[in-house]
Chains A and B, each alone.
Chain A
């Protein structure tokens, strides 16, 4: 069974924000919530690097560990999802996440914090796949349509890779061999662990 992973190739990302736009459009993400963002390191300095950041669907997800109501679950495909009917919007996951993935929409006049929203790897939620309820709460379920996440499929330079861990690692390995540099994958060790820290496949 596939284990879905994201990789952002910092050597290729041109900070076009196409992934952010694709995500917002595909999932009709509400105003004020960005499931995916592009972060630029050393902005303005020659050699600056940009990376596209969203939920990395960690192998050992800290958000799952700290959630007081146990609203998170992991699908068979290794995607970390949450149930908005169970979430109480406490924000603990937001403090635990090393990638700043959990987002909280502001509701009403006084900006009350709503239930958590995050990248779903375009895999919907616990509602019936392809249902209107699922779309309204979690966005499109592209994975159940046999497609990869919109952000990765829309990426113009193919900096953002998504799919089965073996496949994306294989693609990146080919690139690194061809160009002779840029093997450092931002966030890989944190999200998926490494051999020293007992990595899961």
Chain B
């Protein structure tokens, strides 16, 4: 009976003191935490077609083509 009471009170004390713990305040930097953009978002409905997720080369080509098409009107003009 005495042992059981001791075990119960230890468990109760552990439960009550659980909230007294403290989060780590150690300094942690943010370097190298992001995945590369060419891995994609996995959300097909928002992803631009024309490249394959995980393929850095095709991603780079897609952005280059998109940038040239959308931002450089001189490619659409015939010079005389």
Contacts and interface: CB of A to CB of B under 8 A. Distances in A.
Interface string A119-135: 00001111011100000
Contact of A164 (B32, B39, B51, B60): B60
A81 interface: yes
B29 A143 contact: no
Nearest to A74: B31
Contacts of B74: 171, 174-175, 178
Contact of A145 (B34, B36, B46, B71): B46
A130 B66 contact: no
Interface string B26-44: 0111111111111111110
A129 B37 contact: yes
A144 B39 CA distance: 7
Contacts, number: 117
Contacts of A38: none
A148 B66 contact: yes
B41 A145 contact: yes
Given A75-B37, A129-B37, A146 B29 contact: no
Interface residues of A, number: 42
Contact of A75 (B28, B36, B51, B66): B36
Interface in B38-80: 38-43, 46-48, 50-51, 56, 59-60, 62-64, 66-68, 70-74
Interface string A165-182: 001101100110010000
Q: Which 5 A-B pairs rank lowest in CB-CB distance, beginning with the nearest?
A: A130-B41, A83-B30, A146-B48, A70-B29, A163-B67
Given A73-B32, A152-B71, A164-B67, 12 more contacts: A2-B63, A73-B30, A83-B30, A123-B37, A129-B37, A129-B42, A141-B37, A147-B48, A147-B66, A167-B67, A171-B74, A175-B74
Interface of A: 1-2, 69-73, 75-77, 81-83, 86, 123-126, 128-130, 141, 143-148, 152-153, 158, 161-164, 167-168, 170-171, 174-175, 178
